[in-house]
Amino acid sequence: MKGKYLLIMISLYGIAFYTSTSIHSHQQQTVVVEDAGKLLPTKMKEVKSSHSTKELQKWVKQEKTISIAGMQHSQGGHTVYPYGTLLDMKRYNEILNFNPIEKTITVQSGVTWADIQKKINPYGLSIQVMQSQNIFTVGGALSVNVHGRDIRYGSLIDTVNSFRLLKPDGEIISVSREENSEYFSYVIGGYGLFGVILDVTLHLAEDELYQHRISTMDYQEYEEHFKEKVKNDEHVKMHLARLSVAPKTFLKEMYVTDYVLAENQRKLSRYSKLNEKETVVLPKFMLGMSRYSERGKDVFWETQKKHFQNSNGRYQSRNNVMRSDSTFMEYENANRTEVLQEYFVPVDQFASYIDDLRKVLEKEDLNLLNITIRYVEHDEDAVLSYAKDDMFALVLLINQGRSEKEIKKTEKVIQKMIDVTLDHDGSYYLPYYSYPTEKQLKRAYPRIDEFFEKKRELDPKERFKNLFYEVYSQ
């Protein structure tokens, strides 16, 4: 495909110029920027950052091509475009209003979930929906319409009251389901293509005390467990599962953590202090072993399983459940990187889907390190909704090489996995590397053409661009 070849050319071009993450020429300031995937280093005109709304507004009016970034954990070039200007929003990070009575908070888009937790935790309040780590910016989370461990709220779009948007022409508008509503379902999950999200008003939840309930099971038991003991039990508030990638139990054994509302909520005060950092030295070491050894994968799975089984009955506040330490996933290697894929499959098709996925992976050479499973309710508020049904979301961590040969090798396997997912009425998440074909994109997101048409209508000069848009919108 034209887009695919363009993506490879851009990547190779960026790599050729890449000597550090900050390169400056004598004639004109330039900088090479890369996202968390480290497969698309891209030479950009400059990076700009400000805490001033007026300055952001001025830049949007002046610059020809703009990309927007928070923590840059999207992995498919969603925050970069060759020779464009990058708006780094991390300094735009004030908490503007907090109403503990109404359970709402208004924050600028560079505020992180950790910032919000520190503000609201003393008031016994919590975030409704966020990623499994709290390091990410709110603006970035809205742009990819995240979901998390909570099984009662759906995806992030469900928790948004309103936001202000800096449009491509420099105008600032308020957006909600009632005001300028045509923007609402495009901007949330819109990957920064419609303008700059300035600030957001979110609905909050009560902080609660949960007790861990750990179960080990065969993958064929999981659907029934979830339906009967999780979804139909109103006391279960959050849920997380892991599926084995170890050779001895590959895609067969699972362990599940249900976060059950504790009977005595008066104990919450004993557990409500925010944990600053988890102890991750041993898990990081074991994960490191599993990267390079099949035996290491077996040992890691057994160690991981025992660790979680030992936490059965443990008490934890909702806010602390949402503070997983992201340093566990940090990985530095000159020749390799770790990428994510996320596939959504209807709850009723889980077991048959895993059987078909296993048939593919047993024949392929893919260094699969981890599969985490969450649940997300059917949601079609966002134009690019990934939850066409009540879905299990499988997050796959893959270790791969950075060379063109290794990229093509991984692409081949991932396209096969996506075909299996689509054949089971599933979809895949868009914030990751552009391995899927255009045909697969249209199967997973039947409104994608409408999305791109609306983008060009609302941004006729295509001021906001990124590599994701470049690859798929042609």
d(CA 235, CA 264): 12
d(CA 45, CA 125): 42
Instruction: State residue 325's pLDDT score.
Output: 55
Identify residue 334 by its one-letter amino acid code.
A
Pairing of strands 125-127, 66-69: unpaired
From residue 379, alpha-carbon distances to 183, 185, 205, 347 in Å are 17, 11, 20, 14
d(CA 461, CA 126): 40
Q: Which residues of the chain have pLDDT under 70?
A: 1-29, 277-286, 325-329
Q: In terms of C-beta distances under 8 Å and separation of at least 24 residues, what long-range contacts does 299-302 make, across chains too?
A: 300/246, 301/244, 301/245, 301/246, 301/249, 301/253, 302/246
Task: Please check whether residue 414 is in contact with residue 400, taking contact to mean a CB–CB distance below 8 angstroms.
Answer: no
Find the DSSP H helices in 249-403.
Answer: 268-271, 281-291, 294-309, 318-321, 350-361
Residues 190-199: pLDDT tens digits? 999 999 999 9
Query: What domains, with CATH codes, occur in the chain?
Result: 2-88+451-472 (3.30.43), 95-206 (3.30.465.10), 209-436 (3.30.70.2520)
Instruction: State residue 310's pLDDT score.
Output: 87
Residues 250-298: pLDDT tens digits? 999 999 999 999 999 999 999 999 987 665 555 666 677 778 888 989 9
Instruction: State residue 17's pLDDT score.
Output: 42
d(CA 220, CA 243): 11
Identify residue 99 by its one-letter amino acid code.
N
Task: Please check whether residue 125 is in contact with residue 206, taking contact to mean a CB–CB distance below 8 angstroms.
Answer: yes
Q: How many CA atoms lie within 13 A of 146 on its CB side?
A: 21
Instruction: State residue 73's pLDDT score.
Output: 87
d(CA 332, CA 291): 12
| DSSP summary character for residue 137 | B
